Each structure stands twice: as structure tokens, then as C-alpha cells.
Structure 1
Amino acid sequence: MLFEICPGSLQIVTLLLECGVEVNTRNYCGQTALMQACRYGHWEVVQTLLLYRANVNRADYLNGRTALHFAAVSGHSRCIRLILADFVPSIIHPSNILQPVNCDESAPVKNYPDRSSLARVVNRAADGGITSLHMAALNCHTECLQLLLDLSANVNAVTIQDGTTIDLIGAGSAPLHYAACGGSIPCCQALIAKGASRIATNCNGWTPLQVARLLRRHWLEPLLIPDSSIPVQPLPPSRYLALPLSSIMKIARDCGWRIVDPAPVDADPCSVCLERRCTVAAEGCGHELCTRCALYLCSTNIIATATSSPPGAIPCPLCRHGIVSFVKLPTTMSLKDLAKMNLASLTLCTTCTMEIPELNSARALLHKGENRGCRSLEPLQW
């Protein structure tokens, strides 16, 4: 089954998907292949499943966790980046990664996805009200936590009393309570920098400081005391942000990405792989790449661009210009257009075959039999 072999088996998963296996198939726990791939951190499998439109909102039967929960609890930042790619805008304001450059109604709507959709996916709660941010904080995954915070995760989300889950800290706990339980100083600093309250209490009346003392995380006390003098500086944007990922995934779904189409003799090949023809261009610098190389670049890059580029821009491999979006070249045809061309070619060939001598002889014989009044010959269906 797809969900049983997906970890580390990219070629087999791709083959099964191409043969028509349902991408959202569940196992007996209600887990999909996307959840399993996120659990083990196989980002290439995650990317392939998402290109086949895997559903990121599905939750398992055990405790309501989505693929984002599985990626956060295991600390796989690349998987989180891919899961949320379709919800992150390509054009943003430098001071706020979720704020469009301008709100002019004449601007293209495609550049401004619904911010509430991103917030709903990021803040989706499993049983007990536990969000992905709680899981990342508890397991001390600073990179995942910072990425979730940059993508509108609610720093004040609290757990709820639920008989299906075991909460050792208590209901009403915020992510800072969970970070104190995990004992990570960077996670606590990131949450406080985003506005987490040091004096918030859960249903047991515990503050994050009391949770740290209860679990003997004494190194956190200077940071978590209400009148702490330790300065907490605003953190830079996560290096796992990838603005152009949304645009290149859309192009890959529309135009394909697995077909190895060698570059024509009279055209320049992709500047990265030097094999395939160029299908997309980077907005801004205009350098051309093939779809597969652009996908790989956006999925793996963790190198910051120049300070003048918006947070989340990917540096161009040729000129280091910050890329915020990809556009397909005029010569790049969509899969629908290619299918129409193939259908037109097939229709043309079928029409031509109707004029071969054998069929013309059959028509003549039928016409001759009808003229003689022969009833044994039935009309042929052409």
C-alpha cells in the first residue's frame, strides 16, 4: 500500500501514483501517506504527494493529528515548508511576511491568497487542543517553531480538557508552558519575542516558570520570571521560508515535471542541470531554469538572500538576486494543451486511415449489393 512504503521510496511512490493509486488512501489508523512521509522527514516524497494534490487537512483517527502535526513533532522544517506552500503568498511586504505589498483592487488576486486559510491550517488543533506549535515547543524544535510563528501560528493558543488525551501539564496551557516543559531556551525566547505571556496560567494555576521549576528546568528561571532583565531581541525571519515555492508547484502541476525533455540543439539548456530545456523564468532577474531544478531549489534552500530582498526570497543560482516567484515561459505548454494536441493528432490520423483502399473497396461492395437488392448485407457503421 502507498502509505506503507512511502518512507524513503520515492520511485515506488511515484510509480504507484502514476498508475492511479489514490493519493489520500488511509491505513487502519486513518493516516495517509503524507502523514507518514512527514513523520519520517522524507521531503521529496512529501513534495511528490503534494504535486499529486494530497489533502493536507486530513486528520488521523487516533488523536486528530494532521500532516503538519507529524512534521512539527519530529522537527522536519522542510516538510512544513512544503505542506504550507500553497497557502503562503508570493509577494509580501518586507516588514510583515504575510502582508501584501499593496491592497489595490486592481492588483492581481492570485498574488494575495486568503490569510485566514493559512491561519486555519497552521492553528489546526488535534485532540486536547494541541496545535503544531505546542508540539514543536515541547520537542525543542526551534527551526520548526520559528517557521510556524512566521506563518501566523497563534502564540496564545491553549489546550483544552479532553478525555481522549493525557496532558501532564494541564489544560489551558499555552505553547510557552510546553516550551518550559521541553526545557529549550531558544524556543522560549522565540515565543516571548512573538508576544507570549510569562504570567499566563493554566487550569492548574501554573505559569511557565512554575512548570519549569516543577520539571527541574532551572536554567529557564532567569528567562521566565515576570520581571526578567534578560533582553529578548526580535528574531530574524525563518530561513525555511520559501516564497517562490507556491508558484513553481502550481506550474509543475499544470505543466508537469517528470518528463525529461532534452533541450533543443538551437536553444540553451537549463543553467543548473545542463540537460533539460528551460520551462520557467525567475521574476526580476529573468534567468531561466527547468521546472525540476526550480522545484529542488525552492525545497532545499536555507541560504538568506541580500537584505534588500523580502524575507523568504530564494537567491538565484546565477546572479544571487532574490526570487519571489516563478513564471512559465511562453513556449511552455500545459498538460491540458498537450492532451488536446495529442487528441487532435489522433483524430487526424483516424480520418486519414478511413481513406485506405481496403475501406474504399468495402464501401463499393456495399453500394453494389444495395443496388442489386441484396438484403444479406447490413449497413456498416463508419
Structure 2
Amino acid sequence: MGQGPSCATNDENGLFRAVKLGDLETLRTEIDADSSILKQTTLYDRESLLHIAAANDQIDVLSSLLDRSMNPNLLNRHKQTPLMVAAIHGKISCVQKLLSAGANILLFDSLHRRTCLHYAAYYGHSECLQAILSAARSSHVSASWGYAHFVNIRDGKGATPLHLAARQRRPDCVHILLDSGALVCASTGGYGYPGSTPLHLAARGGSLDCIRELLAWGADRLQRDGNGRIPYAIALKHKHGVCAALLNPSSVEPLVWPSPLKFISELNPETKLLLERALMEANREREKKILKGTAYSIPSPSHSDGGADDNLSEASDAELCCICFDQVCTIEVRDCGHRMCAHCTLALCCHNKPNPATASLNTPVCPFCRSSIAWLAVAKGDTNDDNGGDLSCPRLRRSRRSWNLTEGSSSFKGISTVGSFSKTATHGSGRILINEWVDKTDP
């Protein structure tokens, strides 16, 4: 009787070792000899062959097992699926294979009552997170839970995937979740009792990059947790000085991504990337002003001012934005075709309120022709010199700079917050001073 369990354990270890090492030949031989081994699990954790293959990134073994009609939603001791295990370990190829095989993304485990999305966010595997979110957009999730519900689903302690990503200092995952509709001010509290927001958790962990992302998406610096503390107080308690300086309610509010605007949600990836970079650069300039005169400095590298100057020196003067005279035109307004730099485009669309819901939903207008902005795209190089009276024409920009400064849209009253106007612009032998105009318009 003593030899029976021992022999079984040896056989089991040999089978699971073959899966772990990707020994497909041995595995096929074993399965052909006895197909019932497909139902075997490890003794304690009840891990199936799929769980072990997913955890060790053995995609060939995983594919072979799925081709033999193994259930992709098998559960281990903690009711975790192979998809959850793959998300925990960041095995993107296994995540994609399991999703294509019909793995259920709506299941919860019994350990923390978390889904595969929670685990991908918690462990910071942005590719896995993106793959799961993409599957949620095209699966039955939309018809059952709804995509927004899935993105903001809570675990056993009331934490959404965004809470977990902020808590674990995962800025890439924070950005993906916010861009996918995660609620930036969601609280972990239930039944009417306030809990912690993602900003509280980022402040606790001292993650400056997560704080930047959350603030740029409208996180409220004044929202209190269950103990009545604002994120600023939490950052101070944990001695995160730079984070506390940015979270201080008395410091200048950052620019907020204009998510309520329809044409912003429909941006193509290239245009969106340009605007997001401009937004972060603008907020970095604010950070420098906030930290100026303090004992703190920004630990993470900011965009080099020298690099921007190099780009400007190589570019023709005619290509400069005729609003700020500082940045090269990179964004084109459709259908009028007028062009601006990404910083000035954001100044038209962004706001300084702590919550995006408070932003005006009125569509911004082109500062040149006053037509409503319906679409933004990356500006391409001019190929036609005959542009008539179009103000987007580089030749006309050079002769109408002073006109654009005095006749510009009232939408630019807050544009000095971008930081581009702290310099001067030159045109021919004349010199236009911007600082005086900024002082009059800066809120």
C-alpha cells in the first residue's frame, strides 16, 4: 500500500515536468497511451496541464492540449483559470491563444475574487491587459456585463483594475485602463462609505508617473478616503515629497485630457500620441514651476529642451505654429485644413478642472476660420505652393503672425499654461514680445 501513492506521484511528476519543459513528444506519447491523463491535476494546487503550460509559456504544448478539446476554463484550487495564470505570469502568447480558444474573461477566482483583468493590471503586464481588453470589446461581454462594467469591475475588496495598477506602481497599465474608460475617481468603498481612489493608492506608493497619469485624466486632488484624508496628506505621511508637492491643492492644477469631446475619442493612434506627449510635456513644465524653490526635483527624466531647439533649428521658420511661434505645426484641423502645434491644439481642448465631467462639452472652434473642429489629424508636408488665401499656408503665416496674436480666438485665454509663451518670437527685423500678452490672459 505504501508504494501505490509513491508510484502515482512519480508518474504525475514526470507528466507535469514534460509539460513544464515543453517536451511535446513525451506528452503526445503519454496521451496516446492513456487519454485520461488530460484530466490529471497536481496534488495540492489542482493545477491542470493547461495551467502549467500557461504559467511556463509553453505555447506549443498549450496549443496541442487545446486542439485535443481540453476545456480552457478549467479551475485550480483557487478557482483560477489558465487565462488568469497566464496573465499573472505575463505570458502574452498564451493569453492570446487562450482568448482565441474561448477562455472566459468574466470568471472570478476564490483567492481575492479577481478576474484575469485584475491580475494583468496588478502585475503590470500591459500587453496582456491590452489583449484582454481587446477581447472584451469583441466578445459577449458587451451583451452581458457591458464593456464599461468589465473595465471597472471590483474585486473582493472593492478595488478596480485601475486601483491595483496604481497601487502597484504600473503607469503603463494605468494609462491603458484610463484610455479604455476606467473611472479615475472610483472609490473602493461600498454601501455609501468612502474608500480610497486610485490617486490615494498612487500617493501611498509614491508613484510619480501614476500620479501624473491620473491627474492628466481628471483625478480629484480633494477627494477624501475612508479616514478623511486627501491624497496630499497620504503622500506627506509616507514621505513622498515630490508627489506631495504635485498633489498639494494649492498648487496649479494640471491640464486634463479632454476625453468628453467626441472628436478626441475618435483620434487615430498617431495623432493621439502627439497630443498625449504634448499634454505630458505641458504638465512637466508646470511641475518644474511647482518644485522651483523647493528642495525637491523631478526624479524621472523630462523631455529635453535642447532636443526641441534642435528640431526648430532644422525646421523652416515658415513651419512654426503661428499661434505660439515656438513649436512646429504637427496637427491639422479637418476639414478646413488649418494647422497648429500639438500644444496649442490642446490649449483649445483642455481644461483645468479636477474632473472631466465638469468640462464644457461645446466643440472647440478653429482659431483661424471659426469653424467647428470635427476631426484632427497629423499634419503632412505641403506639396502645393499655390494655397490661395489659406491661413494654413506657410508663406502667409510669416506675414500674419501679428494678426493671429491680436485677432486670435478667445479660446486661447488659458493657453499660457502650456508654457510655450515664456519665450519671444521674431519676425524679420521686428520683435514681438509675448510675455506682456500672457500676463493679461493667464488665469
Cα drift, residue 81 of structure 1 = 1.0
Cα drift, residue 231 of structure 1 = 3.6
Q: TM-score, normalised by structure 1?
A: 0.52
CA contact (8 A) 1:59 1:66 kept: yes
Q: Which amino acid in structure 2 is aligned with residue 204 of structure 1?
A: N
Q: d(CA) in 2 for partners of 1:154 and 1:229?
A: 23
Q: d(CA) in 2 for partners of 1:191 and 1:115?
A: 29
Matched, 1:220 2:243: yes
Between 2-11 and 50-59, the greater mean CA deviation after superposition: 2-11
Q: Determine which of 30, 33, 53 is the counterpart of 2:82.
A: 33
Q: Runs ≥4 in structure 1, deviation > 6 angstroms?
A: 113-116, 235-238, 306-311
Aligned to 2:231: 208
**What does the per-residue CA deviation read over 1:244-286, in whole Å, with 9 as the maximum and x for residues that have no partner?**
xxxxxxxxxxxxxxxxxxxxxxxxxxxxxxxxxxxxxxxxxxx
Cα drift, residue 84 of structure 1 = 1.2
CA contact (8 A) 2:187 2:197 kept: yes
Cα drift, residue 88 of structure 1 = 3.6
CA contact (8 A) 1:128 1:161 kept: no
Aligned to 1:234: 257
Aligned to 1:100: none
Q: Determine which of 190, 208, 215 is the counterpart of 1:185.
A: 208
Aligned to 1:59: 108
Cα drift, residue 160 of structure 1 = 2.6
Secondary structure (helix, strand or coil) at the match of 2:146 reads helix
Matched, 1:70 2:119: yes
Aligned to 1:6: 54
Give runs of aligned pairs for residues 336-347 of structure 1, distance below 5 A.
Answer: none
Q: d(CA) in 1 for partners of 2:257 and 2:251?
A: 16
**Structure with the largest fraction of helix:** 2
Q: d(CA) in 2 for partners of 1:115 and 1:65?
A: 18
Aligned to 2:186: 157
**What does the per-residue CA deviation read over 1:169-197, in whole Å, with 9 as the maximum and x for residues that have no partner?**
x9611111011112111211211121111
CA contact (8 A) 1:222 1:228 kept: yes
Aligned to 2:286: none
Coordinate RMSD, CA, aligned: 3.3
Q: Determine which of 131, 144, 148 is the counterpart of 1:82.
A: 131
Quickly say closer, same or farther: Cα 1:234–1:161, change in 2 above 3 A: closer
CA contact (8 A) 1:24 1:32 kept: yes
Q: d(CA) in 2 for partners of 1:57 and 1:171?
A: 26
Cα drift, residue 221 of structure 1 = 1.4
Cα drift, residue 12 of structure 1 = 0.7
Q: d(CA) in 2 for partners of 1:61 and 1:115?
A: 22
Aligned to 2:307: none
Matched, 1:145 2:195: no
Taking CA–CA contacts closer than 8 Å with sequence separation of 6 or more, which of the two structures ends up with the larger relative contact order? Answer: 1
Q: Which amino acid in structure 1 is aligned with residue 53 of structure 2?
A: I
Q: d(CA) in 1 for partners of 2:247 and 2:258?
A: 18
CA contact (8 A) 1:193 1:235 kept: no
Give runs of aligned pairs for residues 6-25 of structure 1, distance below 5 A.
Answer: 6-7=54-55, 8-25=57-74
Cα drift, residue 4 of structure 1 = 2.4
Matched, 1:46 2:95: yes
Q: d(CA) in 2 for partners of 1:86 and 1:27?
A: 23
The unaligned stretches of length 5 or more in structure 2 are 1-47, 270-329, 335-374, 377-443
Matched, 1:175 2:198: yes
Q: d(CA) in 2 for partners of 1:66 and 1:176?
A: 22
Secondary structure (helix, strand or coil) at the match of 1:70 reads helix
Q: Which amino acid in structure 1 is aligned with residue 230 of structure 2?
A: T
CA contact (8 A) 2:99 2:135 kept: no
Cα drift, residue 86 of structure 1 = 3.0
Q: Which amino acid in structure 1 is aligned with residue 76 of structure 2?
A: N
Secondary structure (helix, strand or coil) at the match of 1:220 reads helix
Q: Determine which of 114, 122, 126 is the counterpart of 2:155.
A: 126
Cα drift, residue 233 of structure 1 = 5.6
CA contact (8 A) 2:117 2:132 kept: yes
Q: d(CA) in 2 for partners of 1:155 and 1:28?
A: 33
* Count of residue pairs the alignment pairs up: 219
Secondary structure (helix, strand or coil) at the match of 2:223 reads coil
CA contact (8 A) 1:190 1:235 kept: no
Q: d(CA) in 2 for partners of 1:77 and 1:46?
A: 12
**What does the per-residue CA deviation read over 1:71-95, in whole Å, with 9 as the maximum and x for residues that have no partner?**
0011111111110113447xxxxxx
The unaligned stretches of length 5 or more in structure 1 are 90-109, 163-169, 243-305, 312-382
Q: d(CA) in 2 for partners of 1:307 and 1:54?
A: 41
Q: d(CA) in 2 for partners of 1:229 and 1:85?
A: 36
Q: Which amino acid in structure 2 is aligned with residue 6 of structure 1?
A: A
Q: TM-score, normalised by structure 2?
A: 0.45
Quickly say closer, same or farther: Cα 1:307–1:120, change in 2 above 3 A: farther
Secondary structure (helix, strand or coil) at the match of 2:60 reads helix
